[in-house]
Amino acid sequence: MFSFSLLIFLVVVVVVLNKLRSSSTPSSKSDITGSAVLPPGPKPVPILGNILDLTPRELWLRATSWAKVYGDITYLHVFGQPLVFLNTPRIVFELLDRRGSLYSDKPHLTMVNDLCGCNDMVAFTGSGAQSKRQRRLMNMALAGTRIPTYFPLITRETHCFIRRLLAPKPPTSSQVESQKYYIPLLRRYAGQLTLNVVYGYKVQSDDDPFLNLAEECVDILSNEIASGGGIWPVDLIPQLQYMPEWMPGSGFLQKARKWKAKMEEMVDKPYHWVKQHVNLNAHTPSFCSTLLEDSDFNPNNTSASSEKTFLSNQFEHDLKWTANSMYSASLDTTITTLQYFFLMMAKYPSAHAKARTEIDSIIPHGTRLPTFADRSKLPYCEALFSEVLRHNAGVPMSLPHRLMEDDVFINPTTGKETFLKKGSLIFANIYNITRDPQLWPAPDFMPHITPEDFYPERHLLTPAEQTLLSNPSSDPEAYQALKVRRRERDPRTYIFGFGRRQCPGQNLVSSSAWLVMVTLLATVDWSFADDGRGEAGRKEEESKVAFENPIFRQPTSFRLDIRPRSEAVMRLIGQEENDDQD
C-alpha cells in the first residue's frame, strides 16, 4: 500500500511541507510534560519520518521486532503523525482499559471514513453520541446474558455444518476441490449463522445472493480497505483526495469509489429486507426485528412529536450500520478461528486425541453430540480453545485508537514517566503479546516449550491455583496476583479488543466457535492430504501453508482428508437432522 508513497510525495511536496509546518514532531520534553519523555523507536529520516519502516503486509511482525529492541512501547511518526505500538498486556490494559476515556476515540481516516464511506461502521465511528447509541443497540442483542438465547440456533447451524462436511462431495468436484471443500462450508456456516442472528435471514444455498454480497464486502473491508493497519497515504496527507484521477498514484480513488458503492449495498439491502418482513409480520426474530418492534428504541413506535422524524431517521441509520458492523466483525473472526483449528489439529494429532478422549469420558461415543451444558466438564477442550485463540492471534494488530488529549503516565513495567501527544494513533500489538516469553514461560517439567509452540496445557490451572481460587481468603495477596495473571494470560481479553472498543460480539463468536470445535472433535477425523504418499505427502501439504491476509492472521487454504469417525457418528448425525427439523 505504501509502494507508491514516494511518487506521491514528489507530486505533492508543497502539501507535505505545509503539513509539517502545522504538525511538527513533538519534542521529548515540553512545559506540559515536565520530565516525561516520548517512548523509544526507530530513527526517522528527514521529512518522511518513519514511513520507510512501515510495511503493508504483516505489520505485526515488524512491530514485534521493534518490541524486542524498544520494549513495552514503540514510537514512530510519519509526516509528523505519531504512531504508537503497545507491546505488552500491562501497557495495553493500563492505557486502553484503565485510561480508556482518553484512548477510546477512533481516528478520522480519509480513506476509510470519507472515500470508502465507512464512517458509520462501529469499528470506525469516533467517540461520541453516535458510538454510544450504536453500542447500546449491540449490547441489547449481544450482552453475555443474551447469548444463551442463541444456543438453539448455534446448535442447529453446527449440526448442519457437520452434515455438509461429511456428505458426499459434488460429483463435478476434482480431488483438490473436494479436499478444500471444508473452506466454503466454513464460510457458509459463519455467514448463515450471522445473517440469521442479525437479520433473521435464512441462507438457502451456497450461491445465496446475500451471502455472496456479504462475503464480497467483508473481503473488501479486511483485505483492501483496512489492510496495513488501515492507514493509507491519503490519511497522512488528506489533500491527496483531490488529486486528478489521471495522475500517477491516484488509483486508490477509483478503488474507493467502487468499494463505497458495494459497502452501501450491503448496508441497505439486508436491512430493507428485514424491515419489509417486519411490516408484513412475516419475519423471524432477530437483532433488527427485535429493535424495530421495540418502542423503547424505535421512535416510530411512540407517539408523534416534533422530533419524531429526526429521531426515526437517526434510529434507522444507526440500526442498519450497526447491523452491518455486527456481520462484518463476526464473519472473518469466526472463519479465521475455525480454519486455524483445522490446521492445528492436523499438525498436532496428539492434542486432537487428548481432547477427544476427554469428550468421550463425558459423552460415550455415538450416544449424542456435545452441547453447551458440557462445557464446564471439559477443561482440556477449553484450554485447547484458548490455545487456538492465542497461537493464532486472529487479529494480530488492532485497528488504531486515537488519543484524545496529551497524556503523561507511569509505564507500569519501567516505572518511568512517558508522554504521548494528543492525536497519536495507538496500535495494540496483539501478536507480540501472544509470543511474549515472560507471559508464556516454559513449564518447569518441559523447559523446551516456547510461546511459538502449540501447547494447550499452558492454560490449565495447577492444583495449587485451583485450591487458591476455591479459597481466596487463604492468601488474599496471592489470590489477587493470580487474578491479574489469569487475565493477562486469557486470550479473550485482547483478541477481541480493549476497553470501550471491545467487540460486543465476542461472546457470540466464542460460543459458536467452541461448539463447532468440540463437535468436530467428537465426530470427525482429518489429516493433511497425502496424495497416497503417507507422512511425506502430509508434510509437503503442511509446508505449503502461509499467512497472507493483511489484517487477519488467516492461513491460506490447505487440503485435508476428512472422514467420519465411525458409522455410529453417521447414524447420530442423521438422527440429529430429523431432530433439528422438528
Annotated binding residues for heme, written as ranges, equal 503
Q: Are 80 and 17 in contact (CB under 8 A)?
A: no
Distances (CA, A) of 91 to 25, 84, 205, 268, 519: 23, 12, 46, 40, 37
Burial pattern 439-477, b for ≥16 Cβ within 10 A else e, equals bbeeeeeeeebebeebbbebbeeeeeeeebeeeeeeeee
Binding residues: 503
DSSP string, 110-126: IIIIIIS--TTSGGGPP
Q: Are 388 and 517 in contact (CB under 8 A)?
A: yes
What is the number of residues in the chain?
582
SS (H, E, C) 217-246: HHHHHHHHHCHHHHCCHHHHCHHHHHCCCC
**Residue whose entry in the numeric block shows the C-alpha cell 465411525:** 566
> SS3 of 170, please?
coil
| Three cell numbers written together for 35 | 520530565
Q: 387: how many CB neighbours lie within 10 A of its CB?
A: 22
Burial grade of 280 (CB within 10 A; 0-12, 13-18, 19 or more): exposed
Closest CA to 73 of 393, 399, 397, 420: 420
Q: Are 528 and 541 in contact (CB under 8 A)?
A: yes
Give, as one character, the DSSP assignment of residue 295.
T
Q: Are 5 and 11 in contact (CB under 8 A)?
A: no
| Three cell numbers written together for 180 | 478444500
Q: What residue ranges in 107-219 does DSSP mark as E strands?
A: none
DSSP string, 53-84: G--SS-HHHHHHHHHHHH-SEEEEEETTEEEE
Q: Are 109 and 232 in contact (CB under 8 A)?
A: yes
Closest CA to 330 of 577, 459, 150: 150
Q: Give residue 199's identity as a one-letter amino acid code.
A: Y
Q: What share of the chain is helix, strand, coil (3-state, %, to 5)?
A: 60, 10, 35
Angle of CA points 119, 123, 127, to nearest 5° = 75
Could you give the count of Cα atoms lying within 13 Å of 364 in the half-sphere of its Cβ?
1
| Three cell numbers written together for 315 | 434510529
> SS3 of 73, please?
strand
